[in-house]
Amino acid sequence: MIKKTLCIIFILVAGAGYSQQDSQFTQYMYNTVNINPAYAGSRQSMSVFALHRTQWVGLEGAPVTNTFSINAPNGPLNDCNVCPHETTALSAMGFGLSVINDKIGPSDESNIALDFSYTINTSETYKLSFGLKASANFLNIDFDKLNKYDKNDYSFDANIDNKFSPNIGAGFYLHSEDTYLGLSVPNFLETKHFDRYAGTISSSHVAKENINLYLIAGHVFEVSSDVKFKPSVLTKYVQGAPLQVDLSGSFLINEKFAAGAAYRWSAAASAMIGFQASSSWFIGYSYDLDATRLSNYNSGSHEIFLRYELFDQYGRTMSLRFF
């Protein structure tokens, strides 16, 4: 029954090609550079991030995602637009590198992306960052892992090996010390993701990658001298699929402990915890409980990440920021 369920899921995802296509993260707020290149370097520190996500535990062939990223600022940023010769420890440019690997049933997909951002001051409080993303996607599909109900169907005789597709993306990110707003499109090119007949020049295809639009926003409230509260929202839109909205709220206590909850509209409810082990090391974990009929076939999704940040760049220690 599990294999049949997985096969149905794969056919729906691959055949229609209209469901959520980019990798999905509950704790996206700690690795925003994956969806918005303008975020690169915005924390004014070198940030190294690694995450492992196991989705739909107990369902054979369910998604498993691993990601690694690094981003950092480079060069000075003028804090005063009218006095360009006076600079501070802030950086105008940011650079990033990220690698995402997704395994879903018979497919194994890897994405490598380079990010660039440039930041300008819009006021004494807010900064506006513009970002560009260049990515390379590599797809492998082993059709032998599928249950073939029609043994004479030759459409899936040839596996897909490292099918390459390039892409470009862009975004902007408006932020202050306690507020942020971002809009991004990580992939502008609507690539025909893979062909039924991998070894030919046939234009027949199982799915194509549509444009995904991301809108993020959040604000940090000072509840007390020891407690901060941050509500945030992530909205994802792709043509042909329902609008997906992630709502979350997290508390940061004594600059050490983070705890919160999230709700992915009509899809899942999540619990999140985190611990700031030092000024550089932060570890986080989340658990998702499905709110769909898929919950009958799995025991939820787990996500764990580790972030390392090197502050004190350019001779200045930055205070910890909650996003």
Residue 323 counted as domain residue: no
State if pTM tops 0.85: no
Q: Show the domain range for 9.
A: 2-314
pLDDT digits (tens, 9 = 90+) for 187-204: 998 776 555 554 544 445
The answer to whether residue 198 is domain-embedded is yes
Domain membership flag for residue 246: yes
Quick: pLDDT tens for 279-314. Answer: 899 999 999 999 888 888 899 999 999 999 986 554
175 within a domain of the structure (yes/no): yes
Q: State yes or no: pLDDT of 316 exceeds 90.
A: no
Asked whether residue 320 is assigned to any structural domain, the reply reads no
Any idea which of 65-69, 200-204, 210-214 has the lowest mean pLDDT? 200-204
Flag whether 60 is in a domain: yes
Least confident of 76-90, 143-157, 241-255: 76-90
Q: Domain for residue 322, yes or no?
A: no
Q: What CATH number corresponds to the domain at position 99?
A: 2.40.160.40
Residue 14 in any domain: the answer is yes
Structure tokens that stand for 165 in this block:
């597709």
Range of lowest pLDDT (1-5, 183-187, 227-231): 1-5
The domain total for the chain is: 1
Residue 148's pLDDT band (cuts 50, 70, 90): low
